[in-house]
Each structure stands twice: as C-alpha cells, then as structure tokens.
Structure 1
C-alpha cells in the first residue's frame, strides 16, 4: 500500500515536497515538516513515545496533503531534532512508581500537558489558529489533552491507539511490555540499533516485512538517535495515562474519531472502544489485523478515516 501511495503522490501536481523548519515555542525549539499548501486547513500529527516525526510515513502525509490539506508532522520534545532536555536528568522512578494510578502531582521532568502546550505553541508559531489534531499512542493521549484544554485550537480530534487514561483498563500483553522496557544496546553501530528497533516494531504488532521494519528503523537512527529522551516520555505517559480523562472527554464537542487495531498488544482495543464510547458522537474505526504500529498495509485505510472525520468539522 505504501508503494502505491508513493506512486500516486508522485504523479500529483498539487502535493509539494516536505518543507522542513524549526520554530521557538513553549520554551524549546521544535523541528517540523509541512506538506501541502500553507493556506489550506491544517492537520497536525502527534507522535508516540520516543518516536521522531519520520514515524508518520511520508506517503501518508503526502496522501492527506493531496486531498487538499496542509499536513504537519513534528518531533516532540526529547525526540528527533527538537530540543533534548538533558538538563532535566533521568526520571525519579523511586518517587514516580508509588504514585501510579493516584492521579496527583508526581516528580516528573514534564507532563503530557506540557507536551500538548508544545503542540499548540507550534501552531501559534506557524500562525495556525485551529487545526485537525491526529495523535497516535502517547500522541493520542496528548491529542486528547490538547482538545480538552485548548478546544479553541481544535477543528477535529482523531485519537489512534490511545486510551482514556482509565487505570482499570486491561493491561498490555507481557511480550509487548517486555519489548518496550528492554533498553537499547550500548552500541553506536547502526545495524545493531536498527535490529533492536525493528524487533520492537515486530513485538508491537507491525505487519511490515523484516526489510521494511529495518528500513524504518534506520531512518530513525540515521536522522536523530536519542533514546535518553524516551525515559522522560515514558514517565509522563505512566502517570498521565493512569489518570482517568473520561469526565473531560465526555465534554468534547468537536468531531471525533477513534482508530484502533483489533490486534494491538500494547493498548488493547478495549481502550479505544472506551474512548469512542465516552466522547459524544465519536466514530469508532476498528482496523482488522492492526497492532500498535502505523504499518504500510493500513496507511490508505487510516488516511480515508482521518479525512472522513476531518470532513465532519465546520469549514
């Protein structure tokens, strides 16, 4: 499917190549790429834990841009080419772990709300008043929090592979958690690191073949390998995604959609179903065979769903 999309977007005269840039926002430097005409409605793509902007496939971005939207993917703080917050140190796990499921203050380097403020800061820097917000995994939680706290900046919400923060939801499968908790090898060798990353993709349910998983991993590693920031992301998720957002999700008024794979081993499909049942008028799209990964096989189906939800918003 990804190869088909690449051919289609290459033939389209309306889709510009990615326009990279950096802006100052919320006290950090944010690296981003923009596709499509800047005067079109914006779709902002928010990534998951430790993921750089390249984890949103370029073919997916160009597909959406070819349908008449400006598409923006960016590196979260502590990922890719956005500011690395080494000054904050590593998370205080001894202080954090006892507070899981308590839904109160915790000694975090930063929170998911801070990361939502990064996203709105990026929009402001790009002079975008409102955008369609699409987030995957941790990015889905950030997208929900952005919509809850900054509703005037949101045209529509698409939450992908994310939960409501309800700590009583079914847990991840042990093998998926084990993969996520395995630290990277102490190596600077690209082949060694790409094997590690490709193994994580596979454990999370990627349907891509081995060669494509390796290619994706090398793209990440060669552009900006920074595993140190992943621990700070994880701390924000562990606390933020064990704090029930359902009362606030029930107040969302913009068009909303949940996309979730029925084979997701990390954030179970029950989690996505709960989010969809909580947000008024939310459409649920359960993708057969999709795990916790934006795999090639599902790009067209995901793009169709996002555009359908975006089309429900007021012009």
Structure 2
C-alpha cells in the first residue's frame, strides 16, 4: 500500500512538471516581447558600464603616471626620501628571499665580496660581505663620480689588498679551483677571478670605464633542468671585468628564486648586440674590453679560445667571421695580434 502511494505521488509530481514546462513554452511569445521591451534599457546599462570602465582605466593611468612622476622627483631630489625608499625595498627583497630561500645583497652603496671555489665544488665565504664605504652615508652621494678622493683611495687600496690575498691563496693551494672578488660601488660591479696557474695583473678599478659591446640575452641551461634561468649583466659591462666563470655563476644563481643545478654540464646561451649567438661551457669565461669581449678557457693556463684575432668579437664584426672562429684555430692563416690582456697570454707564463 505504501509503495503504491509513493508511485502515485511520483506520477503526480511528474505530471505537474510537464504542465509547468508546457505553460512555459506556451508563454514564449510573451517572453520575447518582454525581452524586446527591456533590450534598450539593457543596452543603455551596458554602454554606461563600458564608458565607466574606460573612464576608470584612464583615471588609473593618469593617477599612476602622476604618482610615478612625483615619486621620481622626490627620490632624485630628497636624500632622506631616497634612503627611506631604499630601505623599504631592501626589506621587501629580504622578505621575498626568506620565502623563496635565496640570497640578497646588502643594502650598501659600496661593498666587497671574496669567495673561493674548491675543486670538490664547495664554496668558501659564500655570504661574507665587507663594507668598503663606511665613512660615506649612502644618502649623501648620488653617483660614484661625487665620491671624495679619500674614499676613492681607500676603495682602491682595499681592492688591491683583496686581489693580492686571492692570488696568494689560490696559487698557494692546489685544492682551490677559483677565487672571485666582487666589488659594488653604487650601480657598478667590478668582478675579478683568479684561476690556479693563470697569473692576473692587479689593475685599479677607478675610474671605471664602461664597455660598448653588450649582450642582448644570456641564459643558463642544464640538461637536468626543464627551465632556463636568465642572467642579468646590466651593471657589469665594465672594462676588464671577468664574468660567467663557474664561481661567478654560483654567486649570480644564488640571488634568484628559481631552482638550479650547477656542475660541469651546464651551458650558457649568449646573444650579443650583433645577433651573434654562441654557447659557453664550464671551462670557459668572458673578459670585457672597451669595444669587444674575449672568450677564454681557464682549465689550460694562458690559453685563448683560438688565436687572438679569432677569439675576440668586435662591435663591427659579423656573425659569419666571429662565432665560428671561437671553436676553430687557424693560426697559420691569421696574422698574430697583440693581446689586450697579456696577463692571460702564454708569453706571461
């Protein structure tokens, strides 16, 4: 009896639903007429919403531009505002680095870092920064050229002492593969590497001379990584700077949040401003000159990657006569050219 009641109830509900659907379909002309009646109002509301959105976007752009202009003016003209903004930006980066587990450079206008890479791939002094401008508050000097002579002499002396110490340590221990000295002065990075059995001349870093030949793109790749890592050398295009060596890459990669693997299997893809494309492997590095750059090999003392003429890539050279010569040596066909870096030539050995 109960089962029969439920069955009848379901039939009644089903009949009511069908009746409702029939009524709905029977009212379609009225629904169409109602839609036609309210369509002008819908179009008006839609157009009003679009115009409001465009107006709000324009207002946002104008407000953002105005605030950015005022901010840049305050940042460039008011030292204490500059100092405050730099501190806020530093602590923001510090927070992100703590979350992402990567390193951040100190919030100083001038510092020096010395590192060593052992042959077992271990690092020494990975985070030991030393301030090299302790007597000059950061907010008193806007550019390197305004530094007083006493500060320049102090920085130069510290630099010479640092490189001398690196030379003595690297040349005195067969367990060390490379020594690296990085000095930052405002927005300029001076990078020097010392490799075992390859002598290096100590040159003064001031005045700093910029390079004319830059790279368009530098990417770090590894067979075990599914992604590439961009390498920013914007503030490192200075004459005599040594970049993209193994220890240099250890330092640069530690400053970014992406995961990485660094060993002797990595490959660096480079495109220079003349659209020349080439690759740099573990045993190679680059030295910047004023109008060109040199690809060198640190594993063999004093060896260029080819002859001097074949090794450098000038700003006026084409891709056909520069990149191919990096991997092929044709010393008999090319006249010998004096090296701008005699400290790395075989004659100095």
TM (norm. structure 2) is 0.26
Higher RCO (CA-CA < 8 Å; seq separation 6+): 1
Q: Rg larger in 1 or in 2? A: 2
TM (norm. structure 1) is 0.28
